[in-house]
Every structure is written in C-alpha cells, then in structure tokens.
Structure 1
Amino acid sequence: MNFESISEAQALGLDPSHLVEISPGCLIHGAIEAPLSTLYDKCRADGCVLSVASGYRSFDRQLAIFNAKARGERAVLDDAGRPVEMSGLSEREQLFAILRFSALPGASRHHWGTDIDVYDAAAIEPDYRVRLTYDECAQGGVFGRLHQHLDSALTAGGGFYRPYDCDRGGVAPEPWHLSYGPLARRFEQVLTRDLLGDQLAVTDIELKSAILNHLDAIYARFVCLQKRDV
C-alpha cells in the first residue's frame, strides 16, 4: 500500500492537513478510512457497533493535558486508578507517573491520525459516560464482548493492532487503543528522539528540565514500542 510522504510537523501533531472528519470533531488519517470501515463491518456482523471515542489529537491539546496534570489541575492516577500524591515525588518521579497514562506532546500516537480509541455504542445507553478503562474492556465489562470479537478480528489481519496490548514497563495497557500498523510504522520512523527533543526544547511545558534530562530514557521506555509484525 502506498502512502503520501509524512512530514515532521505531521509526526509531531502540528499539521492536520492529512486528516478527514468521520464524525463531528473526530478526525483520522484519510488513508485509514477504508480499513476502518472494514473493521466496522466485521464488528457489526458480530452485533457490535465499533465507535471511535478519540482519534487525532493535536500537539497543543496534548500539551494542555500534560501541563494540567503536572500543575495538579488534573488528577494523575496509578495503575489501580487511585490519585497519585505528586507533592511527595521528585520531578523525575512526577514525570514518569504522568507518562504512564498520558504521552508527552509530540510523542502521542494520536497525533498521527493512525490511532483510535474505540468502544461499543450498541452496549450502552445514550447517557453512558465512556471512561476507557481496563474494567470496561475486560470479560464481563460493558465493552467486553466487543473486545472479545476484536481479539479474533485483529488476529485475522486488516492492519489494525493494539500497540499497548501488554505492560512493557512504559505506557499502561490500553486494550481500547487501536493502531493502523502499515501507516503508523512510517510515522514511528519520522518521530526520532532528536526531533521530539528539539520541539520540546522550544515548548512552554511543565517539568521541562526533567523531560530534557531524561529524554533518552523517556524515548526508549514510552515512545519506542517493541517491534511487531502487523
């Protein structure tokens, strides 16, 4: 499959020119629209309505999320879903606690339009607030049936996979997060450690000193994913 060239600005979430809108306010890379439609059809055949809770997220939006957590304006949670007491942590510890669930601006896969967070609209009432938690996706959870079907559908091919399928010591497992591998792999190649560092060096971001001092470890642990065949 051929794709257009990827710019550094697109890899960093600074250029949305490659995106299309699939629902009000929800953008994805134009090249994944067809394979996503195929995945929709597979899930619908099993009685599930695959819906996108989150697609593209800009650099500025990710920056706002990160800064709010670093300032204590937004809760930072541990693996058990409990608020982390940030005041007792070093800057490095604060940074790594945030990165467990929230990417650095410039380092989020949602910048590319290749990655989506999904849920089953057929499993909930209109007023249900989708939280995107592990419990929702597990067997017996509200979206457990969808994810059981996705286990088979993703294995059968089509390009989508779960980049955070298990705990590798960096980002926490996110079964709801799907990535279109054939295209995401190309964005991964563009998003180098130096490109990310140069952008963050000129960004008004909290914990900047800790970020730049530990960027090598951050890039290896939270940005680079274990190589997989997709």
Structure 2
Amino acid sequence: MLTTDELTGRASSHVVSHPLCRSSVKLQSQAFAAYEAMHAAATAAGLGLDIASGFRDFERQRVIWNRKFSGNAPLYTSAGAQLDFASLATGEIVEAIMTWSALPGASRHHWGTDLDVYDPRPFSSGQRKLELVPEEYSEGGPCHELALWLQRHAGDFGFFFPYRRYRGGIAAEPWHLSYRAAAHQAHQQLTLDVLQHVISNADITGKDYVLDCLASLKERYIDTICSATEEQEDSEWLFG
C-alpha cells in the first residue's frame, strides 16, 4: 500500500529505475518486473518496445497544469482539435486540461504503475519526434504494429489500457498501459478526502473552481476508465 505522499506524487520512495530504460524512467519494482517480461516477448516477436514516461511527480504535473490553465500551452478537444483559449470559461478550461492532462495529485503516473509506451525504432534517427498522439498508433503510424501486439498480449503480463477508448472523460490513449494489480489498489486509495487535502494545500491555478467541482471531476476524469475485465470481453477498440 502506498503512503499518501507516494499516492499523490509528492514522494518517490515507491519507484525504482531499471537497466532496460533511461535512468529517469521509474516504476514500482513489480511493474518493472512485468514490463521486463513483456519487453522480452515483444523483442522475440520482432518488435521494439520502450517507455516514454513512467512515474511523474506532483510538481511536474502542477507545472503542466498551471501552464495550460494560464494559456501558456495549447488546449485540445478529445478529438485533437485545438481550442481558442480566450473564448473558454473557467469550467471549459478545466475540462479541456483534464481531457489530456491529469489534475496534480490525481495522475495515475504518480503511482508508479502506469507507463506510456512506444516503438523506438522509427524515431532512432532523430528525424521524427514522438508526440504521443493516436495517429502514431493507428494504421500507417510508426507504432501501429506494436499497438496491435499489445492489444493481444499486454494482458498476459498483467497490463491493461485504462484509456483504450474515449468515455466522456480522458481522451483515448493507445500508448498508456497500467499494471493492473498495483494500480487497482492505488485507485481505491485515492479518495475524495485525499484529493481535497492535497489540492487545498498546493499552488494550483484555478483550484477554487476545482475544489467546488471536485466530486464530479473525480467521477468523470479519474474514476471513469476502461476496466481490464471489459477489455478481455470486448474486442472493439477505438484505435488499431
């Protein structure tokens, strides 16, 4: 079980690095063990697999949030169309941010259980830059072959896609994998009271509005995910 500080990204004592990845990429040790086995299987299948992002701390998430809330970074719809920041009301800004970026303290990346994956081979020359957009994982995209393999095999190693399709909250993220056992426990720990405490005591732009609407925001953007059970029973994917 994670401490409250670990759960909300204010501590990193629960995560470690691994020789397979850059030293800056960190996960819980059990998640890395599962990833190592999956990496070996992907390699044996002739595929490339790497982690673009693992653990992300509270401060990094806070900076991302504040930049977007202040209009210093672009905002997008769930379909990827850029929004006109000047025309948005406060609630629309919050919803636009949370469609693609987590509320500080509420990111699954805080837990050390979630990772953004890609095929590094098409990007090795430096001529193409990874953007982590659905088109890269769709047919004709540089990560499409890997995406198809992961759809079939990620579950064999204990992973699932929490955002495999858009369900009215976070946009579809075909690159986002979650280590099911540890992530489920962390999700259960992340209560409304925990979030209220963390956000109330942080320098988060727009936090008064967020706190007023926190229960509904939590339900829509934090608790609404595609479960591993549904994934096993449902062959329809938004991407692939």
What's the TM-score once normalised by structure 1's chain length?
0.94
Q: Which residue of 2 aligns with 1:32?
A: 31
Structure 2 gap ranges (5+) = 233-240
Q: Percent identity?
A: 34
SS of the residue 2:115 aligns to: strand
Question: Are the counterparts in 2 of residues 42 and 153 from structure 1 also a CA contact under 8 Å?
Answer: no
Deviation at 1:109, TM superposition (A): 0.3
- Counterpart among 9, 13, 25 of residue 9 in structure 2: 13
SS of the residue 1:20 aligns to: coil
Runs of 4+ aligned residues of structure 1 deviating over 6 Å after TM superposition are none
Question: Are the counterparts in 1 of residues 161 and 228 from structure 2 also a CA contact under 8 Å?
Answer: no
Deviation at 1:21, TM superposition (A): 1.3
Deviation at 1:93, TM superposition (A): 1.1
Name the count of aligned residue pairs. Answer: 225
Moved more, 15-24 or 105-114: 15-24
Q: Which residue of 2 aligns with 1:49?
A: 48
Structure 1 gap ranges (5+) = none
SS of the residue 2:142 aligns to: coil
Cα distance in 2 between the residues matched to 1:56 and 1:126: 26
SS of the residue 1:6 aligns to: coil
Cα distance in 2 between the residues matched to 1:172 and 1:74: 17
Q: Which residue of 2 aligns with 1:152?
A: 152
SS of the residue 1:74 aligns to: coil
**CA deviation string 1:31-89 (max 9, x = no partner):** 21211011101111221111000000000000000000001111112234332112212
Q: Which residue of 2 aligns with 1:215?
A: 214
Q: Does 1:106 align with 2:105?
A: yes
Label 1:10 to 1:210 Cα distance change in 2 as closer, same or farther (>3 A): same
Q: Which residue of 2 aligns with 1:133?
A: 133
Moved more, 101-110 or 75-84: 75-84
Cα distance in 1 between the residues matched to 2:163 and 2:64: 20
Cα distance in 1 between the residues matched to 2:94 and 2:33: 37
Cα distance in 1 between the residues matched to 2:89 and 2:221: 19
Q: Which residue of 2 aligns with 1:64?
A: 63
SS of the residue 1:19 aligns to: coil
What's the TM-score once normalised by structure 2's chain length?
0.90
SS of the residue 2:26 aligns to: strand
Cα distance in 1 between the residues matched to 2:56 and 2:78: 23
Letter of the aligned partner of 1:168 in structure 2?
R
SS of the residue 2:157 aligns to: coil
Comparing both structures, which one devotes a greater share of its residues to strand? 1
SS of the residue 1:28 aligns to: coil
Q: Which residue of 2 aligns with 1:186?
A: 185
